[in-house]
Amino acid sequence: MEVALSALIGIFFMTAVYLMLSPHIIRILLGVVVLGNAVNLLIFTNGRLTREVPPIVPDDVIVAAPTIANPLPQALVLTAIVISFSFFAFLLTLAYRAYQELDTDDTDTMRIAEPADEAAPPTGY
């Protein structure tokens, strides 16, 4: 099960990088969403994938059994879902506003918004 999820996480990361390298803002936003899901799956997979044993430690046990699920990655993933959704909503609003002002979603065409009398930003080091 972990091997299949690891392959899926790798595919998600590859897809996210491919989408974020696109010059179109909508593809960049979809890449951010896919990247957030890949990170959530990665965190969740690190917490052991056991369904049968809940992450509850009895009072008389000092050390938890190694078969129980780890509750920390589950809590981190729940928090990350909320943060990634709010980040996506902010980016979507920002992209829509940029589209309204510049009438394009192409980042190469958006460079016309830079002042003409100033030098272009550096493209390399």
Tokens of 88: 């996506």
Judged by phi (left if over 0) then psi (alpha if -120 to 50, else beta), residue 83 lies in: alpha
Q: Which pTM was predicted?
A: 0.76
pLDDT reported for residue 113 = 65
Stated length of the chain: 125
Please state, in angstroms and rounded to a whole number, the distance separating the CA atoms of residues 12 and 10: 5
d(CA 104, CA 122): 23
Residue 78 lies in a domain: yes
Residue 61 lies in a domain: no
Q: Flag whether pLDDT at 124 surpasses 80.
A: no
The predicted structure's pLDDT at residue 58:
75
Residue 41 lies in a domain: yes
Per-residue pLDDT of 49-81, as tens digits, reads: 666 677 677 788 777 777 777 778 888 899 999
Question: Total structural domains in the chain?
Answer: 1
Is residue 62 assigned to a domain? Answer: no
Residues 42, 15: Cα–Cα separation, whole Å: 15
Domain enclosing residue 30, as ranges: 2-51+68-108
Q: Is residue 113 part of a domain?
A: no
